[in-house]
Amino acid sequence: MLRNRARYFELIKVLGFTDFKLRFSTSVLGYVWSVLKPLGIFFVLYMVFGTFILRGADPRYKDKLLLGLFIWSYFAEASTAGIQSLLGKSHIIGKIYFPRSIAVLATSLNYFLTFMINLGVVMVFFLIDGVGFTRYSLLFPLYIAEVYMIVLGVSFLLSVTYLRFRDLVEIWTIIITAGFYATPIIYPIEMVAWKYQKLLFLNPITFIVEYSKRVLVEGRILDAAGSATTFLIGNCIIFMESVLVLLIGFLVFRKRAPRAAEYL
């Protein structure tokens, strides 16, 4: 049993790193595009919102915008790729037996590697811009783990569904686009009326983006009233949501995956 698990782990690593290399093999700039794309979007949005619309509203607006964009870009790209992970490995699944979950895990590893490298670029940007890291910055890895669990849960849940409903990627693209504007990335959440803020927090990525900005850029956990209660409750909610998404996704995947080959 342990030997099989070690083999499966090795297979996840090989497939994940291979996909990571192949994803940029046909591009002239290679991996650099994974950084240039969100940076290009950041530049456009900052010029429009940071310079002309929200000018002077928040001196750290550009840092928060950059962080939010990289988190959202990872979620959008990794979840979309995760949905197509089984179909993308159909040439292997049809010939060799291995747990179908390995295809999803390998895809998630591929995009997680990109995300971690991109976060290094963000941290360098923060240091240059004078963002001071505090003890609260140590909470940020928790949010990285949570967004990864959400991506993995969505990938498990929708990858088996996509085998039967091939329009799912197009539908997911629309959801991703709507979700971007429903997440406080290009605007401060304080600009939204409180009753609508509650609706925004139904999106789990809102918690992750907001709290990441708070602990990394603002260096605080207290709210305007000087209380940490809301922050602690919010962290409990997002952690439970992340675990729940992963659990539901995996259980649905485990139930439907044995029939995956029928639809490939």
Least confident segment among 9-13, 60-64, 82-86, 151-155: 9-13
Q: How far apart are CA 114 and CA 32, in angstroms?
A: 10
Higher pLDDT among residues 215 and 13, named by residue: 215
Which string of b and e fits 140-154 if b means at least 16 CB within 10 Å? bebbbebbbbbbbbb
State pLDDT tens for residues 128-149: 888 888 888 999 999 999 999 9
Q: How far apart are CA 156 and CA 205, in angstroms?
A: 18
State pLDDT tens for residues 169-199: 899 999 999 999 889 888 888 888 777 888 8
The chain-wide mean pLDDT, for the chain, equals 82
State pLDDT tens for residues 207-219: 999 999 999 998 8
Check if the beta carbon of residue 232 is closer than 8 Å to that of residue 223.
no
Q: In the block, which residue shows the tokens 């994940």?
A: 16
Q: How far apart are CA 209 and CA 207, in angstroms?
A: 6
State pLDDT tens for residues 19-43: 767 766 665 556 676 677 777 777 8
Angle between helices 101-129 and 32-45 (to 10 degrees): 60
Q: 98 by DSSP, 3-state: which? A: coil
Provide the pLDDT for residue 200: 85
Provide the pLDDT for residue 59: 78
Q: How far apart are CA 155 and CA 107, in angstroms?
A: 9
Provide the pLDDT for residue 96: 66
Q: How far apart are CA 8 and CA 181, in angstroms?
A: 39
Higher pLDDT among residues 1 and 197, named by residue: 197
> In sequence order, which residues have a C-beta less than 8 Å from that of residue 140 and are 6 or more positions away?
212, 215, 216
Alpha carbon dihedral 256, 10, 6, 143, in 10-degree steps, equals: -70
- What's the predicted TM-score (pTM) here? 0.87
User: 2 falls in which pLDDT band (50, 70, 90)?
Assistant: very low
* Averaged pLDDT, 156-173: 88
User: 107 falls in which pLDDT band (50, 70, 90)?
Assistant: confident
State pLDDT tens for residues 62-73: 889 889 999 999
Q: How far apart are the first and last CA of the chain?
A: 29
Q: How far apart are CA 127 and CA 123, in angstroms?
A: 6
Provide the pLDDT for residue 95: 63
The percent of residues in the chain predicted with pLDDT above 70, rounded, is: 81
Helices (DSSP H) in 130-228: which residue ranges? 140-162, 168-181, 194-200, 204-212
Q: 204 by DSSP, 3-state: which? A: helix
- How many domains does the chain fold into? 1
Range of the domain at 61: 2-21+29-263
